[in-house]
Amino acid sequence: MNIELSKLIEALRRTLEDNVQPELRTDHARGQLAAVQDILGKLGRMAVWSSDASAQQARVLAEGCADFVARLAQAGVKLPLPASRQDGSPEDALLAAEAQAMQLTDWLFDDGATLPQSVHAELDAILRQALRQQLIIQRKLIPLTDFGAMTSVAKP
End-to-end CA distance of the chain: 42
Q: At what angle do helices 117-140 and 90-110 cross, to 10 degrees?
A: 150
Would you give per-residue pLDDT tens digits along the chain (156 residues)? 567 777 888 888 888 888 888 888 888 888 888 888 888 877 777 666 677 888 999 999 999 999 999 999 999 998 877 666 566 888 899 999 999 999 999 999 998 888 999 999 999 999 999 999 999 998 887 766 656 655 554 444
Domain ranges of the chain: 5-49+143-151, 51-140
**What is the pTM (predicted TM-score) of this model?**
0.65
Rounding to the nearest 10 degrees, give the CA dihedral for residues 54, 60, 64, 67.
130
Contact 124, 85 (CB under 8 A): no
Give the integer Cα–Cα distance in Å for 86 and 92: 9
Cα–chain center distance at 137: 7
Question: In this predicted structure, what is the pLDDT of residue 42?
Answer: 76
Question: In this predicted structure, what is the pLDDT of residue 146?
Answer: 59
Question: In this predicted structure, what is the pLDDT of residue 86?
Answer: 61
Question: In this predicted structure, what is the pLDDT of residue 90?
Answer: 87
Give the integer Cα–Cα distance in Å for 6 and 23: 26
